[in-house]
Amino acid sequence: MRVAFLGDIVGRSGRQAVVEQVPELRRRLDLDFVVANGENAAGGFGITGKICAELFEAGVDAISGGNHSWDQKEALSFIEREPRLLRPLNYPQGTPGRGAAVFEARRGRKVLLINVMGRLFMDPLDDPFAAVAREMARWRLGATVDFVLVDVHAEATSEKMAMAHVLDGRVSLVVGTHTHVPTADSQVLPGGTGYQTDAGMCGDYDSVIGVQKQTSIERFVRKLPTERMQPAEGPATVCGVFVETDDRTGLARSVEPIRLGGRLKPTLPDLALAAE
């Protein structure tokens, strides 16, 4: 299978770039499934039903969340009606929505998406390792599902890396979100799980992690309250991760970064460049 995961979508600029680029990415990479993290899609804070519909129409198959999942109050009810929108699995029992779901990809393949949030320097939610272990006890890669993707929404690189090594050999891809900066460590781990510490954001990189830079500078330099932070609205870079798996085992054959548009140096998997 060929799957693309796109990092945190930030504001209108990020949304527009994803909507424009996903159809072409699906064609050039012959993708079976596309996931995007949408927790900053609505002006940098949360997501709405209208935005979900725009992303689904463009070719995104499922949307994961994070610590901003509830910033738009409508999400509390909308998430119950939209099975393609997830929030972190390790929220306390009774929280609206779901943190894991199985989706049907192209050619009838089954994709398990798990969304979990870290605890280091984040809200003190339930243990993410235990939550993922309980969910994975229900499934077997290469048998009951064809692909397993785990979005670890976390601040600490060490926590993301530890999760990947715990799951190595049992899932197809572990990818980090939340820090909005693409890391240079895309790799296949010894057990066959694809990994990248952070997919980066889909947003304007002439910013401070997607926020208009002057507001952030004022907060750091003057230590005074400022106006509400607003997303930067310049040309966005679409950042993410591409993984190709073995159809028999569901484990990764290759993992490569995706960067298109905006300020960052573009890169696509070799197979897309060869098709040009």
Q: What is the model's pLDDT at position 207?
A: 96
Any domain includes 209: no
- Closest listed residue to residue 33, CA positions, set 93, 113, 87, 150: 113
- Of the chain, the percentage scoring pLDDT greater than 70 comes to 98
Alpha-carbon distance of 250 to 169, in angstroms, equals: 9
pLDDT tier at 225, thresholds 50, 70, 90: confident
- Cα separation, 180 vs 184, whole angstroms: 13
Domain interval for residue 57: 2-204+233-274
Task: Report if residue 226 sits inside a domain.
Answer: no
pLDDT at 147 over 90: yes
In a domain, 216, yes or no: no
- Residue 215 belongs to some domain of the structure: no
153 and 116 Cβ atoms separated by less than 8 Å: yes
180 in a structural domain: yes
Q: Are 5 and 227 in contact (CB under 8 A)?
A: no
Query: How does pLDDT run across 234-264, given as a tens digit for each residue?
Result: 999 999 999 999 999 999 999 999 999 999 9
213 falls within a domain: no
Say whether pLDDT at 272 is over 60: no
Residue 223 lies in a domain: no
CB-based contacts of 50, cutoff 8 Å, min separation 6: none
What pLDDT score does 228 carry?
82
203-222 per-position pLDDT tens digit: 999 999 999 999 899 889 98
**Mapped to the 3 state alphabet, what secondary structure does the chain carry?**
CEEEEECEEEHHHHHHHHHHHHHHHHHHHCCCEEEEECCECCCCCCCCHHHHHHHHHHCCCEEECCCCCCCCCCHHHHHHHCCCECCCCCCCCCCCCCCEEEEECHHHCEEEEEEEECCCCCCCCCCHHHHHHHHHCCCCECCCECEEEEEEECCCHHHHHHHHHHHCCCCCEEEEECCCCCCCCCEECCCCCEEECCCCEEECCCCECCECHHHHHHHHHHCCCCCCCCECCCCCEEEEEEEEECCCCCCEEEEEEEEECCCCCCECCHHHHHCC
Residues annotated catalytic, as ranges? 68
Query: What is the domain-level CATH number for residue 46?
Result: 3.60.21.10
Q: How many domains does the chain have?
A: 1
Q: Is the pLDDT of residue 275 over 60?
A: no
Query: What mean pLDDT comes out for the span 120-149?
Result: 97
Query: What is the reported pLDDT for 276?
Result: 44
pLDDT band at 184 (very low <50, low <70, confident <90, very high): very high
Model confidence pLDDT, tens digit, residues 89-114: 999 999 999 999 999 999 999 999 99
Q: Write the pLDDT tens digit of every residue in 48-95.
A: 999 999 999 999 999 999 999 999 999 999 999 999 999 999 999 999
Gap between the Cα atoms of 4 and 224, Å rounded: 40
CA-to-CA distance for 43 and 55, rounded, in angstroms?
A: 15
Residue 29 lies in a domain: yes
Q: Is the pTM here over 0.85, yes or no?
A: yes
